[in-house]
């Protein structure tokens, strides 16, 4: 029986890939906490935890008619970002995939009322929400890495359903899996003519006071293990445009029992700004007795319900 052995929400912002002197220049002569946070996360988690596979819940990989999970046996190449090639240019990456686990996720999509398609095409693009984290956390560790997309036509409940399918595949495998929800909290950028005034990491630069307070509330709830409250207040949080509709965190929640999960978050960075958006690293160690299993809910793919609360079932 497989299991989730740890989960985290991690920032992947392009700033972490800039040279140190550039980062210092953007941040008033000091380091952003996200970089030492990733280095500490590597030493305290990635190099110590017993796991087979990393699944990145990639908030930058937008698909349209389904969720897609990478199913290659290995992936390698040089990555240059179409979004910010000045800061992310020809970054080498090379890691094993996990075709067995990726293909297994598709066995659980229909019962959870969703679509998840494994793709093993070697030319499938890769995105910096995966590459940036692997650069800091995966190099030299010889672990399997898999990415799961965000479906841009999905609603809140669809992200949870995809997470349940992933969680069930993990449960019925022999894999020990580390989940990395790669993405931000609130996610509104300043306009071009203003954004260079707001590149420092201080939270005073978050786009709005409302977004700042909404982010800080959720950071506290994560630290307290109150995942239930985050789920219940998604309609309020969506007003502040969380990155990719908070797909990355919601998929993680679906795979780890949703409101039944009370794992407390450990901060691996300060809460920081990035040109208006809210960024943080928070790790959820496996609680005593393990993470709750994903909900055992059988749903039709045609089920029109789009509300998380309306599709609750009994815990597995």
Per-residue model confidence as pLDDT tens digits over 93-108: 999 999 999 999 999 9
Neighbours of 49 (CB within 10 A): 14
CA distance linking residue 144 with residue 157, whole number of Å? 28
Please say if the pLDDT value at position 310 is more than 60. Answer: no
Report residue 304's pLDDT band, with 50, 70 and 90 as the boundaries.
Answer: very low
Please say if the pLDDT value at position 313 is more than 70. Answer: no
Please say if the pLDDT value at position 80 is more than 60. Answer: yes
Please say if the pLDDT value at position 190 is more than 60. Answer: yes
Q: What residue has token string 């992947």?
A: 12
pLDDT computed for residue 301 by the predictor? 65
Please say if the pLDDT value at position 308 is more than 70. Answer: no
Average the pLDDT over 297-301 and give the result: 70
Which residues are registered as beta bridge partners of 179?
A: 7, 55
pLDDT computed for residue 315 by the predictor? 31
**String of b and e for 215-231 (b: at least 16 CB within 10 Å)?**
bbbbbebbeeebbeebb
CA–CA–CA angle 272, 275, 278 (5° rounding): 35
Please say if the pLDDT value at position 215 is more than 60. Answer: yes
CA distance linking residue 142 with residue 118, whole number of Å? 22
Average the pLDDT over 200-213 and give the result: 98
Listed range (10-19, 131-140, 281-290, 304-313) with the worst mean pLDDT: 304-313
List Cβ neighbours of 311 (8 Å cut-off, separation of 6 or more).
Answer: 113, 157, 161, 297, 299, 303, 305
pLDDT computed for residue 297 by the predictor? 79
The CA-atom distances, in angstroms, between 266 and each of 11, 37, 69, 225, 310 are: 14, 11, 28, 10, 31
Give percent of the chain with pLDDT exceeding 70: 94
Average the pLDDT over 197-219 and give the result: 98
Average the pLDDT over 250-274 and give the result: 98
Give the pairing of strands 277-279 and 266-267.
Answer: unpaired
Average the pLDDT over 258-281 and give the result: 98
List Cβ neighbours of 294 (8 Å cut-off, separation of 6 or more).
Answer: 163, 164, 166, 167, 168, 171, 254, 255, 256, 257, 316
Average the pLDDT over 274-282 and give the result: 98
Which of 235, 238, 249 has the alpha carbon at shortest distance from 282? 249
């Amino acid at each position: 029986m497989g299991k989730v052995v740890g989960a985290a929400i991690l920032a992947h912002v392009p700033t972490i890939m800039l040279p140190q002197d550039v980062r210092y220049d953007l941040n008033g002569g000091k380091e952003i906490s996200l970089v030492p946070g990733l280095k500490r996360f590597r030493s305290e988690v990635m190099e110590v935890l017993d796991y087979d596979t990393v699944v990145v819940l990639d908030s930058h990989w937008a698909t349209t008619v389904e969720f897609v999970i990478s199913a290659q046996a290995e992936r390698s190449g040089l990555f240059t970002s179409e979004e910010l090639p000045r800061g992310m240019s020809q970054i080498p990456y090379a890691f094993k995939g996990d075709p067995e686990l990726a293909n297994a996720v598709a066995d659980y999509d229909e019962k959870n009322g969703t679509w998840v398609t494994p793709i093993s095409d070697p030319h499938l693009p890769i995105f910096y929400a995966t590459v940036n984290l692997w650069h800091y956390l995966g190099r030299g560790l010889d672990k399997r890495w898999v990415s799961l997309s965000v479906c841009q036509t999905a609603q809140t409940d669809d992200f949870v359903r995809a997470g349940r399918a992933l969680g069930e595949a993990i449960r019925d495998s022999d894999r020990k899996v580390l989940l990395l929800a790669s993405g931000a909290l609130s996610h509104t950028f300043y306009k071009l003519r203003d954004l260079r005034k707001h590149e420092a990491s201080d939270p005073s630069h978050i786009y709005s006071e409302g977004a700042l307070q909404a982010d800080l509330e959720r950071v506290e709830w994560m630290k307290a293990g109150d995942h239930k409250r985050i789920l219940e207040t998604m309609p309020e949080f969506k007003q502040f445009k969380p990155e990719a509709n908070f797909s990355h965190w919601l998929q993680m929640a679906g795979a780890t029992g949703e409101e039944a999960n009370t794992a407390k978050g450990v901060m691996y960075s300060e809460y920081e700004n990035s040109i208006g958006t809210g960024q943080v690293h928070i790790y959820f160690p496996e609680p005593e007795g393990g993470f709750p299993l994903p909900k055992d809910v059988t749903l039709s793919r045609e089920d029109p319900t789009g509300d998380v609360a309306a599709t609750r079932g009994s815990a597995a």
